[in-house]
Structure 1
Amino acid sequence: MAAIEAERSEPVEGLRARVLAVDDDERNLLAIAEVLGEVGEVVCAQSGEEALRFLLKEDFAVILLDVLMPNLDGYETATLIRRRERSKNTPIIFLTAISKEEAHMLRGYDVGAVDYLFKPFDPVMLRSKVMVFVDLHEKTREIERNAAREQRLLEQALKAKSDKLDAERALRHSEARQEAILASLPICFHARSAEAPFAASYVSKGVERLTGFPPSRFLSHPDFGLSRVHPDDREEVTRSLSAACETGSYGCEFRWRCANDEYRIFFDRGVVSKDDAGLELLGTMQD
């Protein structure tokens, strides 16, 4: 009888549960397939050896196993099934036409059977018994699918968090490297308001090398930068910075009183930047 084979994989929603029917009499297999056609996908094997080959590659909701078969009988086949990790928990229902004596039934239960069906079997009873295990199998697969989905979501969340942390570390490293480069240059980078007194919103560490004042001094006092421009140069500096809003850029040279109270000549040039917050002057200052 034709065999149906499939590779093992994660439970896929929508696939019918498989029932493995094992009997050396093809007529019995045809009858089982007919009765269980609407219950699940019936896979037929005509020997214990063939059944074991199916169980290497497929998962089944339940196994219907004939007791009397040539070579490997049902008891021997069940014993081998139970030894395999993949199939050790698959329910086995023995099919038998032999005596209903307790000794025979105990032997079946001893090798792992969960139930017996006696030939000739009643179709309603067969369908009813198999349905119990098919329903249980479906519920188990649903739990496995949900667990797999939750695991994927967890892994995605952890990866996203890890990627975010990596990006933040890379950004901090880049910013620190950039700040170190800027601090090593004999130049000051700055950002400030486009309106008088042109309050600074950013000043690089290079300003301390040029003026003797740390960046915090410029950031905490809005008019600090303009107030220390030489009185004779202050009007020209103000005019140059104010005109930048129309021209898009500026450049001016002026004397500036440093921390040692000595005037030093600086050249400041920059461009206008526009965003949702308004206009801002981005520039560089060097001596």
Structure 2
Amino acid sequence: MVDDHDANLLALEAILEPLGQRLVRASSGPEALRWLLREDFALILLDVQMPGMDGFETARLVRQRQRTRYTPIIFLTAHSRDESHLVHGYTMGAADYVVKPFNPDVLRWKVEAFVALYRQQQRLQAQEAALWERERHILERQSERRFRRLVDSMPQLVWALLVDGTVSYVNRGWLEYAGLTPEQARRSQENQRFMHPDDLPHVQEAWLKSLRTEQPLQAEYRLRRARDGEYRWFLGRTLPERDEEGQLVGWIATATDIHDARRAVEVLKAASEAKDMFLTMAAHELRTPLQAARSYAHLAKVKAGAGMDPGLDKALRGIHRTVNRMASLVENLLDVGRLQQGELHLAQGEMDVSLLLREVVEHFQPLLESHRIDMDAPESLVLRADRERLEQVFTNLVSNALRYSPGGGAVRLTAREESGLVHVEVADQGLGIPPSQLEHIFERFSRAHGISYGGLGLGLAISRGIVERHGGRIWAESSGHEGEGSTFHVVLPKG
């Protein structure tokens, strides 16, 4: 009730008191607006003629607020029912007009009707809220049932845990695997007795750490299957579950059967080790007869003397070349075995990289026909390393550069010092390396261009092992386009 005259407010209060409603009095528009900021009202009785902010201005401000935009307003006015006056009032948001002096019963009936309408709206809103709440519960139950059906159909074993680690739910996969009832599976001790005794301590320690730090857990462990007592390997993951504010509300744990995959890896590993052992043993067995063949070829050449038949000389040189190539392959196999077993030892000493590169270039000079080897290296580029092994690395790189440049062209060796490091580049203009192969060319038996260009695919693997044993790095860059070639980088510490 808004009126600037206390007598009018008292009269309104007396008329409306029989309705049993809470009546709030305001003596001005601003005071009415302050009440409307604090509470909701079923109806506003608003006097039009008030000093300062009149009823029309007060109604306009009431309608501007979202909260009171639809609150009914009855204007109380002493004016006649002038049509323009009424239109202005309705434009300002009036729901009705009462002209002074008014019939108390008529006013009471009007107010009672608006209050009844307000109460009906409240009941409808309450019913709507109740329906929404009921629908939400139904949807939540349906969602939970769908979630449980989904989790039960998963091949993984699943646990839901409370914040302290207490088991609140397990899926059907774990119940069937362990042969437990849902009640038994909620007891931690029942779950723990299925874990292999050798795995339980480290898993418990990791789990306690996760509880303290609220961080995820991942571990491999064995779980006993109830139907046959077999222990199978699982990959276990436990992830924290958080609410919208980031607070920990629980944990979700899963276990994925990796037993067959693990066994397959073990079989492959054993096969690989057996292969490596066979290659090493075969290389050792071949080493002696190859050395003997090399000696016999040399002895035959010496005995034949200067008057050797040209055909025989060519044959002996062919034998010598073939034996040397086979001996090199055997040494590569032995070096791979040494690297695999960590037995490749370095004899380190002071050496000049520039001098070493010149010797490597000189070694290939007699073999060059359509190729050219250029070198750019400063004098006295000294570092501490195994000279023989680095010679093996750079010989491999230059040999590959020549082999994979069938159209000829230049091979360029560049060496420089960079912040206490020695950086050597070997660049060619050959076939290049497909981008998909750049990460694999340093693996054993890997050949970017297949078997077309010979070799066992061991040279780069050995080179990487030697460089890394020196504390350095080796890598390749190539666009993969023929004619643009490849560049191999070797970076070694000077000390």
For this structure pair, what is the TM-score category when the shorter chain's length is used for normalisation?
0.5 to 0.7
Q: Which residue of 1 aligns with 2:60?
A: 79
Q: Which residue of 2 aligns with 1:206?
A: 230
Q: Which residue of 1 aligns with 2:319?
A: none
| Distance in 2 (alpha carbons) for counterparts of 1:23 and 1:207 | 86
Give the deviation of 1:165 after TM superposition: 5.4
SS state at 1:175 partner: helix
Residue 104 (structure 1) aligned with residue 85 (structure 2): yes
Q: 1:146 aligns with which of 127, 135, 141?
A: 127
Q: Which residue of 1 aligns with 2:7?
A: 27
SS state at 2:67 partner: coil
Give deviations 1:47-93, integer Å, cap 9, x for gaps. Answer: 00011111112111111100011111000001111111011111111
Query: What letter corresponds to residue 125 of structure 2 in structure 1?
Result: E
SS state at 2:66 partner: coil
| Distance in 2 (alpha carbons) for counterparts of 1:128 and 1:139 | 16
RMSD: 3.0
Q: Which residue of 2 aligns with 1:250?
A: none
Q: 1:37 aligns with which of 6, 17, 28?
A: 17
Query: What letter corresponds to residue 94 of structure 1 in structure 2?
Result: F
**Structure 2 vs 1, CA of residues 176 and 23 (structure 1 numbering), >3 Å: closer, same or farther?**
same
**Structure 2 vs 1, CA of residues 55 and 22 (structure 1 numbering), >3 Å: closer, same or farther?**
same
Give the deviation of 1:33 after TM superposition: 1.2
**Structure 2 vs 1, CA of residues 103 and 188 (structure 1 numbering), >3 Å: closer, same or farther?**
closer
Residue 62 (structure 1) aligned with residue 43 (structure 2): yes
Q: Relative contact order, CA 8 A, sep 6+: which one is greater? A: 1
Aligned length: 174
Contact 1:35 1:127 in 2 (8 A): yes
**Structure 2 vs 1, CA of residues 66 and 116 (structure 1 numbering), >3 Å: closer, same or farther?**
same
Contact 2:49 2:77 in 1 (8 A): yes
Residue 47 (structure 1) aligned with residue 28 (structure 2): yes
Give the deviation of 1:181 after TM superposition: 5.9
SS state at 1:22 partner: coil
TM-score by length of 2: 0.32
**Structure 2 vs 1, CA of residues 97 and 207 (structure 1 numbering), >3 Å: closer, same or farther?**
closer
| Distance in 2 (alpha carbons) for counterparts of 1:47 and 1:86 | 20
Query: What letter corresponds to residue 69 of structure 2 in structure 1?
Result: K
| Distance in 1 (alpha carbons) for counterparts of 2:49 and 2:127 | 40
| Distance in 2 (alpha carbons) for counterparts of 1:205 and 1:150 | 52
Query: What letter corresponds to residue 110 of structure 1 in structure 2?
Result: T
Give deviations 1:167-223, integer Å, cap 9, x for gaps. Answer: 6634227708955968956x763xxxxxxxxxxxxx247399xxxxxxxxxxxxxxx
SS state at 1:117 partner: strand
Query: What letter corresponds to residue 73 of structure 2 in structure 1?
Result: I
Residue 172 (structure 1) aligned with residue 171 (structure 2): yes
Query: What letter corresponds to residue 82 of structure 1 in structure 2?
Result: R
Q: Which moved more, 1:37-46 or 1:119-128?
A: 37-46
TM-score by length of 1: 0.54
Contact 1:184 1:206 in 2 (8 A): no
Matching of residues 201-240 of structure 1 within 5 Å:
203-204=227-228, 206=230
| Distance in 1 (alpha carbons) for counterparts of 2:231 and 2:77 | 96
SS state at 2:23 partner: strand
Give the deviation of 1:158 after TM superposition: 3.3
Q: Which moved more, 1:46-55 or 1:156-165?
A: 156-165
Unaligned runs of 5+ in 2: 152-158, 160-169, 179-193, 197-220, 233-495
Contact 1:97 1:118 in 2 (8 A): yes
**Structure 2 vs 1, CA of residues 78 and 207 (structure 1 numbering), >3 Å: closer, same or farther?**
closer
Contact 2:222 2:231 in 1 (8 A): no
| Distance in 1 (alpha carbons) for counterparts of 2:111 and 2:73 | 10
Give the deviation of 1:166 after TM superposition: 5.6
Give deviations 1:136-188, integer Å, cap 9, x for gaps. Answer: 11110000011111222223333344455566634227708955968956x76
SS state at 1:95 partner: strand
Query: What letter corresponds to residue 25 of structure 1 in structure 2?
Result: H
| Distance in 1 (alpha carbons) for counterparts of 2:37 and 2:91 | 23
Give deviations 1:233-284, integer Å, cap 9, x for gaps. Answer: xxxxxxxxxxxxxxxxxxxxxxxxxxxxxxxxxxxxxxxxxxxxxxxxxxxx
SS state at 1:106 partner: helix
Give the deviation of 1:98 after TM superposition: 2.1
**Structure 2 vs 1, CA of residues 150 and 204 (structure 1 numbering), >3 Å: closer, same or farther?**
farther
Contact 1:67 1:94 in 2 (8 A): yes
| Distance in 1 (alpha carbons) for counterparts of 2:81 and 2:128 | 42
**Structure 2 vs 1, CA of residues 157 and 204 (structure 1 numbering), >3 Å: closer, same or farther?**
farther
SS state at 2:17 partner: coil
User: Bigger radius of gyration, 1 or 2?
Assistant: 2
Contact 2:48 2:77 in 1 (8 A): yes
Query: What letter corresponds to residue 121 of structure 1 in structure 2?
Result: F
